[in-house]
Chain A
Amino acid sequence: MYKILKKKKLAEQIWLMDVEAPRVAAKCLPGEFLIVKIDRYGERIPLTICDYDREKGTVLIVFQVVGASSYRMAELNEGDFFEDVVGPLGCPSELTKKTPEELRKMNILFVAGGVGTAPVYPQVKWLKEQGVTADVVQGAKNKDLVILEDEMRAVCGDHLYITTDDGSYGFHGLVTAKVEELVEKEGKHYDLCVAIGPMIMMKFVALLTKKLGIPTVASMNPIMVDGTGMCGACRLIVGDEVKFACVDGPEFDAHKIDFDQAMKRARMYASEEGREYLREKEGKTHHGGCGNCGGQQ
């Protein structure tokens, strides 16, 4: 059992949790993820490790409610337990393999979208500890959905550029427009771009950086089951190869990823899960009639 020590609402439908998981906390590095399972009935849910405290043996997760399982997760409170937490999984970020000297010679740009801000944060923080300040373009739909702004500013200062789709805060427009402005108007030069966010965002960032000639990695979040290479659910096409995101990734060369195929696969359980969500939400009162969900069978 893995205790939830802290729970905090970051924005509508976005939650942060600090969870006791000593083995994960002892070993994890930026870029890796873990899997949680609420109870015996729960799904295995992959989530990026957003921060960790090796001494306290805790890890920080940030998640968005999108379906039945994340909805159930949001109902847990401080003092409650996850039945299972396993990790760290995946490969650490390539940046963690470079020496501080090598890193200091690089100009690095992070592009974070929505809840993808959470996994970007530990990488920026880690770089700061190596003496490197990265640029961060952080996008959200609107002002209320901007998360972790203070934390991020603490590790990159005025290198943080916030964008909102509706212009309610910061730069008005998509993250790609801001990146284009930084490079083309402000004459910034980047050796590497790291994009983490919704697949559609990563796809368009990749298209842009390809045009701008910036090597780019994207952190993929396909459907997963075991997270250890055993099921193949997480397979992606990268270049001409089939890769398993859970063991070969989750970070890949964004210019080689087949995003269209990946986005189609991500929808695989949408209908099935959507039903589960409705059943969950309306509980015993839901006896069908909406025509979509099959009701209480």
Chain B
Amino acid sequence: MDMMKRVPIAEQAPEERAKNFKEVCLGYTEEEARAEASRCLNCKNPRCVAGCPVSINIPAFLQQVIAGQEAKAAGIIAESSALPAVCGRVCPQETQCEGVCIRGIKGEPVAIGKLERYVADWAREHKLEPENHSEKNGQRVAVIGAGPAGLTCAGDLAKLGYEVKIFEALHEPGGVLVYGIPEFRLPKDTVVAHEVENVKKLGVEIETNTIVGKSVSVDDLLDKEGYDAVFIGSGAGLPMFMHIPGETASGVFSANEFLTRNNLMKAFREDYDTPIFAGKRAIVVGGGNVAMDAARTALRLGAETHIVYRRSEAELPARAEEVHHAKEEGVIFDLLTNPVEILQDENGWVRGVRVIHMELGEPDQSGRRRPVEIPGSEEEIPADTVIMALGTSPNPLLSSTTEGLETNRKGCLIADEKNGQTTREGVFAGGDAVIGAATVILAMGAGKQAARGIDEYLRSKRA
């Protein structure tokens, strides 16, 4: 075995997976996992651990994999993370744990994410259950939002003896994990539902269909319902549009709508009622991970799918692996192209997009070369659907209904990085609601920090 190279992992063939919603990556077998884990140098000063926002003791769990002690490996991961089967699948490992792995200096870094997934899947298949031996301390915390930030914060607080209840606006817990990230990257009924169940097994209660700010206010929770502190993990769910003519035509969707219909409402399945329309030719505007997810979903629903992005391939903000998978499956990339108008037919349906071609000019503040329009390069391209994947921002509902809760210019809640304390006493926050659309693992890291912050705050009140 070449110790510089990763043990390859099985995937569904591109032609096959482009027609179904089953998971793309099939995971390591026991032998493969052991071989890959044995590439770890068990560093004294493991840089990978510092690269993980929740500080999983990576070399320790890898040693247990090598020893064939998966249950022990799972126990080590569980000390730091409540959602390992999720993170192992969707973390941008190349910029986190794996990005700083010593193995990566000369060869390929250890496949930490894939091994974390292997252990988490093993634990699920072997019905390993999380345990919580803490004693109740009599204080209660309300958590708003059942996304990665809220679930992590709630789980950690339950382990510290708090009585915790999560209030979730949608009918299902999980946040972006259930409504945004597609089934073929993150299976819902097996992986997500199971990890949410595990959080509940720690003693956390989840009340769905409750929108804090509408169904109940933060003040009600603190004053009337007897909670001693509140954590806000409400995410950044508000979709942006381009504000170009024709954007309200039928057949124009935000990526959030398109993905919600398909993931949360399961429109791709015949036995669910919610409809979806991908058409024969779908155009996805944007170049990030959300754009890749929307494009690969439209493709699976049978549309010829194009990504329209105004910069070049080098500037695509999506993870390299996602771009690679999208290309393999047949998504077509129309780069250096920007929509200027959405064209409608007489019934108000999308019939195409007028685009303008771009070239790269001088670098802007972000250091990326700025795209500039090429005069006279406009053309019309046909389409039945247009999906806008331009980014999202936090929903103003909580800040506008909670006295003393302040936001910055971008609408993000202001909160202390170290402990999640907001501008209102007893109210903490973390995740996308604070830093804007980011990643699962950063949201979890923030949930953890806030759990510690809340514990400190409530301890001082107890004393």
Report A's interface with B, CB cutoff 8 A. Answer: 23-24, 27, 37, 41-44, 68-69, 72, 83-89, 225-226, 228-233, 235-237, 242, 247, 258, 261, 264-265, 267-269, 272-273, 276, 297
Contacts and interface: CB of A to CB of B under 8 A. Distances in A.
Given A261-B248, A264-B250, A88 B214 contact: yes
A27 B237 CA distance: 24
A226 B261 CA distance: 10
A89 B211 contact: yes
B395 A23 contact: no
28 contacts: A23-B210, A23-B215, A23-B216, A24-B215, A41-B271, A43-B265, A43-B274, A72-B273, A86-B211, A86-B215, A88-B214, A88-B215, A89-B211, A225-B257, A228-B170, A228-B237, A231-B256, A231-B257, A232-B256, A233-B254, A237-B248, A242-B241, A242-B243, A242-B248, A265-B249, A267-B250, A269-B275, A272-B277
A44 B169 CA distance: 13
Contacts of A83: 171
A230 B250 contact: no
B248 A86 contact: no
B397 interface: yes
A23 B224 CA distance: 13
Contact of B209 (A84, A229, A258): A84
Contact of B348 (A69, A230, A261): A261
A233 B253 contact: yes
Contacts of B214: 27, 87-89
B270 interface: yes
B251 interface: yes
B248 A84 contact: no
Interface in B422-458: none
A228 B250 CA distance: 20
Nearest to B276: A272
Nearest to B251: A268
B267 to A, nearest CB: 9
Summarize A's interface: helix, strand, loop or mixed.
mixed
B397 A228 contact: yes
B260 interface: yes
A272 B261 CA distance: 14
Given A23-B216, A225-B265, A226-B260, A232 B239 contact: yes
Contacts of B270: 297
A247 B239 contact: no
B208 A225 contact: no
A223 to B, nearest CB: 9
B412 to A, nearest CB: 16
A261 B257 CA distance: 19
A230 B395 contact: yes
B265 A229 contact: no
Contacts of A264: 249-250, 347-349
A38 B216 CA distance: 23
Summarize B's interface: helix, strand, loop or mixed.
loop
Contacts of B171: 37, 44, 83-84, 86
A258 B397 CA distance: 26
Given A37-B171, A231-B256, A261-B348, A44 B251 contact: no
A44 B209 CA distance: 11
Contact of B239 (A37, A41, A231): A231
B217 to A, nearest CB: 9
Interface in B161-185: 169-171, 179
A225 B237 CA distance: 13
A211 to B, nearest CB: 26
Contact of A84 (B179, B208, B395): B208
A280 to B, nearest CB: 9
Contact of B256 (A44, A72, A88, A230): A230
Given A41-B271, A264-B347, A265-B348, A232 B257 contact: yes
A44 B265 contact: yes
Interface in B228-253: 237-239, 241, 243, 247-251, 253
A226 B170 contact: yes
Nearest to A262: B248
A86 B209 contact: yes
Contacts of A225: 257, 260-261, 265, 274
Contacts of A72: 273
Interface string B321-342: 0000000000000000000000
Given A43-B265, A230-B237, A272 B275 contact: yes
Nearest to B274: A43
Contacts of B179: 230
**Residue from the set A23, A42, A242, A276 with the largest chain B CB neighbour count within 10 Å:** A23
**Residue from the set A43, A232, A264, A272 with the largest chain B CB neighbour count within 10 Å:** A232
B20 to A, nearest CB: 16
A90 to B, nearest CB: 9
A287 to B, nearest CB: 15
B275 A276 contact: yes
Contacts of B272: 41
A86 B210 contact: yes
Given A237-B248, A242-B247, A229 B395 contact: yes
A84 B169 CA distance: 11
**Residue from the set A42, A230, A273, A297 with the largest chain B CB neighbour count within 10 Å:** A230
Contacts of B256: 230-232
A68 B273 contact: yes
A99 B266 CA distance: 46
A137 B3 CA distance: 81
A44 B214 CA distance: 18
B273 A276 contact: yes
B257 to A, nearest CB: 4
10 closest residue pairs by CB, A with B: A264-B348, A231-B257, A232-B254, A86-B209, A272-B275, A230-B237, A268-B250, A84-B171, A23-B215, A43-B273
A87 B260 CA distance: 19
A287 B397 CA distance: 47
Nearest to B250: A268
**Residue from the set B179, B214, B257, B260 with the largest chain A CB neighbour count within 10 Å:** B214
Nearest to B210: A23
A232 B395 contact: no
Contact of A85 (B209, B216, B273): B209
A225 B250 CA distance: 15
Interface in B349-365: 349
